[in-house]
């Protein structure tokens, strides 16, 4: 059985805060895809489209592509709900958006970056959450996504309502059929492990047919911290085989998200090398 190939990407601010650092890393490590989230500590959602256009031109001149705008969309409290979370990594207050409609702004940024995917969340977790709560919100997002011809990638994030891979299964199960194929699960296995919720075979099999992108990092479960890919306890060779055998597309975007800010560039380099090694072990091509 031939498994889908992996399209390697890195998230720029996992390497360093400046665009020069991101671009030089990609050149040094033969990476051709750069997912964008923040630059010099600023969320792209807080920038004007003119500012984003300057970034996009620099990336294009470097010969790189931006597959995904790694946005903070819905990584904020739901209206009328009190969030129960503590510290939120890469937090964004939609009130600081430079335009009145932050959701449309996110899609406009994706267009300027020539990104065909927009990463989204499920609001910060709140008491009494039910998967049905999110359906009206995502129906609105899907209307925008269809008008922009951009895919929505919903990531499971520990501080959000959809925190685990199982929560992704529950959300997609609650969404009415027929569900738009442009709404996809952005599976983050390490995030699920960090919540002591290891995905089951059934979870992965349920989602895999809709997956075209994953986030990759690793966990030291004893120390309860994120580590470079290959340095932790997650059996990534087995996890990748388990996921990829049921994927329907010929190529899956594999985006490195190290979350090791104390040593970001080296941690990302080690993760890139580990992914190539692990892929080789299971017979998967990395492009």
**Model confidence at 186: pLDDT above 90:** yes
Please name every residue paired with 155 in a beta bridge, in sequence order, or none if there are none.
186
Q: Stretch 239-261: mean pLDDT, rounded?
A: 97
Q: Stretch 156-171: mean pLDDT, rounded?
A: 97
What torsion, rounded to 10 degrees, do the Cα atoms 112, 49, 109, 163 define? 150
The CATH code of domain 5-281 reads 3.20.20.150
**Model confidence at 177: pLDDT above 90:** no
Summarised one tens digit per residue, pLDDT across range 192-225 is 999 999 999 999 999 999 999 999 999 999 999 9
Distance CA(77)–CA(123), nearest Å, equals 5
Under 8 Å between Cβ of 209 and 247? yes
What would the two tokens of residue 196 be? 């002591």
Q: What pLDDT score does 130 carry?
A: 96
pLDDT band, very low/low/confident/very high, at 84 (cuts 50, 70, 90): confident
Average pLDDT, the chain: 96
Tell me the domain boundaries of the chain. Answer: 5-281
Q: What is the percent of the chain with per-residue pLDDT over 90, rounded to a whole number?
A: 95
Q: Stretch 83-107: mean pLDDT, rounded?
A: 93
pLDDT band, very low/low/confident/very high, at 82 (cuts 50, 70, 90): confident
Q: What pLDDT score does 75 carry?
A: 97
Summarised one tens digit per residue, pLDDT across range 21-36 is 999 999 999 999 999 9
**Model confidence at 1: pLDDT above 90:** no
Q: What pLDDT score does 111 carry?
A: 98
Nearest to 173 by CA among 146, 136, 135, 143: 135
Q: What pLDDT score does 96 carry?
A: 96
Q: Long-range contact list for 20-27, CB < 8 A, 24+ apart?
A: 21/265, 23/58, 23/59, 23/62, 23/64, 25/265, 25/268, 25/269, 26/62, 26/64, 27/62
> pTM for the complete prediction?
0.97
| CA 7 from centre of chain | 14
Question: Omega of the bond prior to 178 within 30 degrees of 0, cis?
Answer: yes
The residue among 178 and 286 whose pLDDT is bigger is 286
**Model confidence at 109: pLDDT above 90:** yes
Q: Stretch 149-178: mean pLDDT, rounded?
A: 96
Q: What pLDDT score does 214 carry?
A: 98
Nearest to 206 by CA among 228, 174, 232: 174
Q: For residue 30, with 0-12 CB atoms within 10 Å meaning exposed, 13-18 middle and 19 or more buried, which class applies?
A: exposed
């Amino acid at each position: 059985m031939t498994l889908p190939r992996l399209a390697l990407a890195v998230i720029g601010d996992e390497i360093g805060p400046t665009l020069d650092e991101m671009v030089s890393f990609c050149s040094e490590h033969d990476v051709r895809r750069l997912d964008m989230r923040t630059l010099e500590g600023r969320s792209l959602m807080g920038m004007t489209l003119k500012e984003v256009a300057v970034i996009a031109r620099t990336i294009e001149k470097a010969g790189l592509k931006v597959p995904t705008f790694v946005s903070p969309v819905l990584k904020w409290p739901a209206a009328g709900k009190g969030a129960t979370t503590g510290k939120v990594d890469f937090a964004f207050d939609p009130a600081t958006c430079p335009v009145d409609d932050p959701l449309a702004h996110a899609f406009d940024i994706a267009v300027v970056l020539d990104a065909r995917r927009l990463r989204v969340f499920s609001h910060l977790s709140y008491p009494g959450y039910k998967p049905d709560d999110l359906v009206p919100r995502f129906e609105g997002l899907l209307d925008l996504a269809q008008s922009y011809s951009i895919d929505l990638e919903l990531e499971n994030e520990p501080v959000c309502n959809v925190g685990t891979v199982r929560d992704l299964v529950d959300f997609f199960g609650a969404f009415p059929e027929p569900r738009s194929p442009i709404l996809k699960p952005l599976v983050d296995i390490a995030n699920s492990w960090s919540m002591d919720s290891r995905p089951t075979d059934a979870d992965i099999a349920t989602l895999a047919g809709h997956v075209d992108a994953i986030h990759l990092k690793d966990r030291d479960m004893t120390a309860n911290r994120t580590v470079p890919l290959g340095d932790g306890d997650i059996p990534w060779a087995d996890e990748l085989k388990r996921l990829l055998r049921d994927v329907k597309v010929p190529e899956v975007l594999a985006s490195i998200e190290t979350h090791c800010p104390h040593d970001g560039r080296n941690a990302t380099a080690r993760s890139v090398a580990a992914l190539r090694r692990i892929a080789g072990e299971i017979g998967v091509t990395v492009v």
